[in-house]
A and B are shown apart, each in its own frame.
Chain A
Amino acid sequence: MARRIPLPILLWSGLGLFACALFGRKLAVQWSGLQSGEVVDLDRVILVYGLLPRAAVALLAGAALGLSGLLLQRILRNPLAEPSTLGISAGAQLALGLATLYVPSIVERSSTAVAFAGGLVAVALILALTWRRGLEPVSVVLAGMMVALTANAAGAALILANGDYLFSLFIWGGGSLVQQGWDPAIAIGWRLALGLGAAVLLMRPLAILGLDDVAARGLGLSLNASRFLLIALAVWLAATVVAEVGIIGFVGLAAPVLATLSGARSLKQKLVAAPLIGAVLLWLTDGLVQLAAGAGGERVPTGAATALLGGPLLLWLLPRLRLFEWPSLDRPAHTPKRVARPWLRIAVLGAAGIVTLAIALLLGRGLQGWSLASDGEMLADLVAWRLPRVIVAATCGGMLAAAGVVIQRVTSNPLASPEVLGIGAGAGAGLAAVLLFAGSAGLGWQLAGSSTGALVTLTVILVIAARGNLGPERLLFAGIAMNALCSAVLAAVVALGNAQSYRLLGWLTGSTIQATFLEASVAAIGLVLITVPLLVAARWLAILPLGAGTALSVGLSVRLARNTLILIAAFASALAAQFVGPLSFAGLIAPHLARMMGLDRTRPQLAGAVILGALLMMVSDWLSRMLFFPYQLPVGLFASLLGGVYLTLLLGRGVERRG
């Protein structure tokens, strides 16, 4: 009997051939120009220094990312690990941006070294954050997402502060594979060869690292030394790609997973399959991008396109993927003690909120140093400027917190929140769509766009979750996929480089600088419209965390309750994201804080979280105005930094999870 070629190999060969054909078509077009003999030199130049190196870069970068992803997933025993989910790419890019601005000479000498340093800092940060949690996958990815989002926001703030000079950096950051020579291909090529060689040499430790720590130590491996060495190798590969072509997401994530699904079982097989699949994926994507570009030139960077293709792929994969059972997840959570008189505590919180509001309005830093606006005239002047933005910040914090409480309770997942599930980014994609089709759209249309985007994102995630019976980890995974997908749409629109791009960039950083009284009143009305129905529907929120089975058996129409609540949460997140951008993390943090203060019944938790969210954003807003006076940082960026600090504490204490 003839031995049959396994189906996956056929499939990948087929895809490779397809990519080949796309390349061939491009080549043929160029070749016919070459034959006609009119402008030989130019066409030859395009062929030799444009098309061929581009294909080489696509293949090599794809392979490097595949290898890097495989190493990271193996070492961290985490199927979600890859350069972009761990914030390595974002860290590398931020380092490049900073270096380009302040020490351009270093970038000239070795951009890879700068990117490598940035990537290492990001990884070190994540490892430090999650070390005490035993590098548990969900914590690692959450920390990675936080680092990546913060780095992106900081990058966007840099661009806004420096205008056109850095704008090209952002476009390039989208991962364009357009080439003008062979240098990048060579740079990636020799590093990939070195990396592969090193990976083969380190195969034994790598195999053992796939086991758990105790077993690995039992086999006499010096655990941390080999772990750090391999991580550094993976970061080096990823940083090279970032330095040469920019951020390309998903290839590093998808290639190892697809290799496993295609039947590569042993480590040796995976070391061969993952880089190959990565190469095919990126080449194919790049071919499709070129095909779609047509005559008008390319508008979508390939890096954004990989996310557009990879996001849906990931969502499809989710139910089919086997995740590691992580022992630390079963550890019972530490339960905070319930407070005896919750409403008294909420009243105290409310008073603290009012005091903060007063301080935010009155205390400020001027040219003559700190001052308290005490006399009437000055106060009136200042309040006209400060009141709208403080109110916008506070109400948005409250809305995000309310949305966070709802989403955490509906999904019975303590890690879910508007930001983590990509609902903020979804709102951004909706906003981008509206701005794209009608650049001068008013607040109403923008709101309609962002609400639709948020609702669609949330619905998609929950449908997938319900279909695949997703636990907390997978839900988070789906959120990451949606986040990447929507961010790719945003990056593509920003890369257009017109007036709307700047509007979106400003939105990404989450700035309240231009808040008006109209926006303040819209936000305030929104907060009331959202919070009151939720307080009324508190019984739904109490029953739903117990699961659909229990809810149905006590006679709750689960679908109605869920859909209503989700609608409210999506609207709240969209409205808040409209004003403060996608990344404040108030929605994740405030519900936790409320619970840790002993407010655990539905209504107290909701009320407490809303006040805490408002407090958080007011403090962020005030700090963002004061810290670097006379410059102002975007409040969203600041809130996400605060969020990072909080998450560190949370992860360190191990308060967090429950299986």
Chain B
Amino acid sequence: MDAAKKPDLHLYDVEAASFAVGGRTILPPLTMALEPGRFYGLVGPNGSGKSTLLKLLARQQEPAAGSIRFSGRPLDSYGTRDFARCVAYMPQFTPPAEGMNVRELAGLGRFPWHGALGRFSAEDEDKVTRALAQTSLTALAERMVDSLSGGERQRAWLAMMLAQDTRCLLLDEPTSALDLAHQVEILALVRKLSHKQGLTIVAVLHDINMAASFCDELIALRDGRIVARGAPELILEPTVLDSIYGLPMGITRHPQTGAPISYVL
């Protein structure tokens, strides 16, 4: 909460961080700052480096050059479990969690707190129960994960991240495998969590209209560079969209809310 009052204290400071594989640059040096308590959407065409940037933030990959700081400390100064108490990350393809029920999956989120050998304490139990309640999974807690529908399974993974009790959630295309109703359900849930509990959320999202209607701020990448950044109304402009997607696009208004909606010309 303190951080929110001081706008100059950033949650993430990315300074000229770049990423390369086998000499091929995937992400040219990139600089940006993220503030706490906001819901960021990373948008852009395929291969624009969205997922790579998210993985750098999640410390899943190390930048080839440059630095990334979280709460003012360089990422590599955190221990593995230390960092996992601050930031939770959901990969794009969640594996099939065989032989696990929902409560057990959520319980794995407590690993950074109790470690490999520590006791699963009453507090751990509490956090898991709360995470299940937040994701409306209490009734499904004993169901096996692989028997769930796509939307429920995604909520179960979200419950695991919430049980991790971090300040920041990083989501790589959390809605890519879901139908429209479940996309709305997940994004609305994420937005609620962000606004109610002050969680910082960075999500890679494919659908620009969906991102615009749920995120506080959009960061648009193209070829690994930030080509636009700002509130959804500022991004959903024909010229801006053209610079992101290289495609002539138009804007119309939502008949009820008046929010901008993009379409391909």
Name B60's contact: one of A537, A539, A552, A595 (CB within 8 Å): A552
Query: A554 touching B164 by the CB < 8 A rule?
Result: yes
Closest chain-A Cβ to B37's Cβ sits at a distance in Å of: 21
Contacts A553-B88, A555-B112, A601-B104: A546 and B80 contacting too (C-beta < 8 A)?
Answer: no
Given A335-B146, A540-B116, A552-B60, answer yes or no on A557-B99 (Cβ-Cβ < 8 Å). Answer: no
Distance in Å: Cβ of B51 to nearest Cβ of chain A: 11
Cα A276 to Cα B19 in complex, Å, equals: 45
Question: Which of B83, B90, B95, B144 touches A555 (beta carbons < 8 Å)?
Answer: B83
Complex CA gap A554/B60 in Å reads 11
A595 close to B80 (CB less than 8 A): no
Out of A547, A561, A595, name the residue touching B99 (CB < 8 Å).
A595
Bound CA–CA A561/B111 (angstroms): 13
Q: How far is the CB of A538 from chain B (nearest CB, A)?
A: 9
Which residues in chain A, 85-105, are within 8 Å of chain B measured between CB atoms? none
In the bound assembly, the distance between CA atoms of A555 and B112 in angstroms comes to: 5
List residues of chain A with CB within 8 A of the CB of B40: none
Q: A335-B144, A335-B146, A605-B99 are in contact. Are A554 and B59 (CB under 8 A)?
A: no
- Tell me if B95 and A545 are in contact (CB < 8 A): yes
A73 to chain B, nearest CB (A): 30
Distance in Å: Cβ of A501 to nearest Cβ of chain B: 44
Whether B97 and A546, one on each chain, are in contact in the complex, defined by CB atoms closer than 8 angstroms, is: yes
When the two chains form their complex, are residues B98 and A554 in contact, meaning their CB atoms are under 8 A apart?
A: no
A546 in contact with B147 (CB, 8 Å): no
User: B116 to A537, Cβ gap below 8 A?
Assistant: yes
Cβ contacts under 8 Å, A214 to chain B: none
Minimum C-beta distance from A107 to chain B (A): 50
* A549 proximal to B (CB < 8 A): yes
Contacts of A600 in B (CB 8 A): 98-100
Partner of A553, one of B89, B95, B104, B144: B89
- Which A residues are in CB contact (< 8 Å) with B146? 332-333, 335
Interface members, chain B 94-129 (any A CB < 8 Å): 94-101, 104, 108-109, 111-112, 116-117
Which chain A residues lie closer than 8 Å to B90 at the CB level?
Answer: 553
A554 to chain B, nearest CB (A): 4
Query: Residue B108 contacts which of A335, A542, A605, A658 (CB distance < 8 angstroms)?
Result: A542
Q: Does A496 contact B (CB under 8 A)?
A: no
Which A residue sits closest to B97, measured CB to CB?
A546
Binary CB contact string for chain B from 62 to 85 against chain A (1 if under 8 A, 0 otherwise): 000000000000000000111111
**A332, A543, A547, A561: which contacts B91 (Cβ < 8 A)?**
A547
Q: Does B215 sit at the interface, judged by CB under 8 A?
A: no
Q: Does A412 contact B (CB under 8 A)?
A: yes
Could you say which residues of chain A place their CB within 8 Å of the CB of B94? 546, 550
Contact between B96 and A658, CB atoms less than 8 A apart: yes
A558 nearest CB neighbor, chain B only:
B80
Chain A residue nearest to B58 in the complex (CB): A553
User: Is the CB–CB distance between B59 and A552 below 8 Å?
Assistant: yes
Contact of A25 with B by CB under 8 A: no
Indicate if the CB atoms of A553 and B108 lie closer than 8 Å.
no
Q: Provided the pairs A332-B146, A335-B146 are in contact, do residues A556 and B97 lie with their beta carbons within 8 angstroms?
A: no
Contact status B111-A550, CB under 8 Å: no
Give min CB distance, B109 to chain A, whole Å: 6
Distance (whole angstroms) from the CB of A265 to the closest CB of chain B: 28
Q: Which residues of B contact A549 (CB under 8 A)?
A: 60, 89, 91
Residues of A within 8 A of B91 (CB): 547, 549-550, 553
Tell me which residues across on chain B come within 8 A of A553, comparing CB atoms: 58, 60, 84, 87-91
B98 near A658: Cβ-Cβ < 8 Å: yes
Q: Are B84's CB and A554's CB within 8 A?
A: yes
Q: How far is the CA of A333 from the CA of B144 in the complex (A)?
A: 13
With known contacts A549-B60, A549-B91, A554–B108 Cβ distance under 8 A: yes
Chain A nearest CB, measured from B217 CB (Å): 23
Interface residues of A in 326-379 (CB under 8 A from B): 332-333, 335, 338
With both beta carbons as reference points, the residue of chain B lying nearest to A543 in the complex is identified as B108
Please give me the residue from chain A that is nearest to B120 by CB atom.
A539
Contact string, A574-605, partner B, CB cutoff 8 A, digits 1/0?
A: 00000000000000000000010000110001
Closest to B157 in A: A550
- Chain A's nearest CB lies how many Å from the CB of B131? 13
Distance in angstroms between the alpha carbons of A540 and B100 in the assembled complex: 14
- Give B152 Cβ to nearest chain A Cβ, in Å: 15
CB atoms of A552 and B111 under 8 A apart: no
Known: A553-B88, A555-B80. A338 touches B144 (CB 8 A): yes
Contact residue among A333, A335, A555 (Cβ-Cβ distance under 8 Å from B111)? A555
Interchain nearest-CB distance for A184 vs B (Å): 48
Contacts of B101 in A (CB 8 A): 338
A29 CB–B CB distance under 8 Å? no
In the complex, whether A536 has a CB less than 8 A from a CB of chain B is yes
Q: Closest CB of chain A to B26's CB: distance in Å?
A: 16
B110–chain A nearest beta-carbon distance, Å: 8
Given A335-B147, A540-B116, A543-B108 in contact, is the A552-B95 Cβ separation under 8 Å? no
Bound-state Cα–Cα, A412 to B97, Å: 10
CA distance A556 to B101 in the complex (A): 20
Q: Which A residue's beta carbon lies closest to that of B113?
A: A555
CB distance from B180 to the nearest CB of A (A): 23
Choose among A333, A536, A540, A555 the residue with the greatest number of B CB atoms under 10 Å from its CB: A555
* A556 contacts across to B, CB distance below 8 A: 80, 111, 116
* Contact residues in A for B96 (Cβ distance below 8 Å): 658
Q: Is the CB of A545 within 8 A of B80?
A: no
Taken together as a complex, chains A and B put the C-alpha atoms of A549 and B80 apart, in Å, by 13
Residues of B within 8 A of A658 (CB): 96, 98
Closest partner residue, chain A, to B166 (CB atom): A553
Partner of A412, one of B58, B95, B144: B95
Interface residues of A in 621-646 (CB under 8 A from B): none
Considering the chains assembled together, what is the distance between the CA atoms of A630 and B227 in angstroms? 82
Identify the interface centre among B82, B98, B100, B104: most chain A CB within 10 Å of its CB: B98
Q: In B142-162, which residues have CB < 8 Å from any A CB?
A: 144, 146-147, 160
Within 8 Å CB of A601, what residues of B? 99-100, 104
Q: How far is the CA of A543 from the CA of B164 in the complex (A)?
A: 14
Rounded to whole Å, the gap between the CB of B107 and the closest CB of chain A is 9
Q: Are A554 and B104 in contact (CB under 8 A)?
A: no
List of B residues within 8 angstroms of A546 by Cβ: 94-95, 97, 108
For residue A287, give the distance in angstroms from its CB to the closest CB of chain B. Answer: 36
Given A552-B59, A553-B89, A555-B81: A545 touches B98 (CB 8 Å cut-off): yes
Residue of A nearest to B110 (CB): A554
In the complex the two chains form, what is the Cα distance from A555 to B87 in whole Å?
A: 10
Q: Who on chain A is nearest to B99 by CB?
A: A600
Q: Cβ of B89 and Cβ of A536 under 8 Å apart?
A: no
CB-CB under 8 A from A338, the residues of chain B are 99, 101, 144
Distance in Å: Cβ of A325 to nearest Cβ of chain B? 16
Q: How far is the CA of A658 from the CA of B99 in the complex (A)?
A: 13
What's the minimum C-beta distance from B6 to chain A, rounded to whole angstroms? 28
Q: Report how far A333 CA is from B160 CA in the complex, Å.
A: 24
Taking CB atoms, residues of chain A closer than 8 Å to B58 are: 553
Interface positions of B from 193 to 246, Cβ below 8 Å from A: none
Cα–Cα, bound, A412→B96 (Å): 10
Interface hub of A545, A550, A600 (most chain B Cβ within 10 A)? A550
B residues in contact (CB < 8 Å) with A: 58-60, 80-85, 87-91, 94-101, 104, 108-109, 111-112, 116-117, 144, 146-147, 160, 164
Closest 7 CB pairs of A and B: A555-B84, A600-B99, A555-B112, A555-B81, A553-B89, A549-B91, A554-B111
A-B contact pairs, 16 of them (CB 8 A): A333-B98, A333-B146, A539-B116, A540-B116, A545-B98, A546-B97, A546-B108, A547-B91, A549-B89, A552-B84, A553-B58, A553-B91, A554-B164, A555-B85, A601-B99, A601-B104
**Extra inter-chain contacts (20) besides given A335-B99, A547-B95, A554-B112, CB under 8 Å:** A333-B98, A333-B146, A335-B144, A335-B146, A338-B99, A542-B104, A545-B97, A545-B98, A546-B108, A550-B94, A552-B60, A553-B58, A553-B84, A553-B89, A554-B164, A561-B116, A595-B99, A601-B99, A605-B99, A658-B96
